[in-house]
Amino acid sequence: MDPEDVLAAIEGQQNVLAAEADTLEDLYKRFNCPRCRCPLQKEFDAHHVFSDPNVMNPRALLRCPNCSYLIDPHSNLVVEYGDASKIPVETLPIIIPKD
Helices and strands counted in the chain (H then E): 2, 4
The alpha carbons of the chain give a radius of gyration, in whole angstroms, of 19
Whether 97 has a pLDDT exceeding 80, the answer reads no
Domain assignments of the chain as residue spans, ordered by start: 41-93
The pLDDT value given to residue 61:
95
Q: Which of 23, 20, 18 is nearest to 54 (CA)?
A: 20
Mean pLDDT of the chain: 86
How many Cα atoms within 13 Å fall on the side-chain side of residue 9? 6
Measured CA to CA, the distance from residue 62 to residue 48 in angstroms comes to 12
pLDDT digits (tens, 9 = 90+) for 34-72: 888 889 999 998 888 888 888 888 999 999 999 999 999
Could you tell me the pTM of the whole model? 0.73
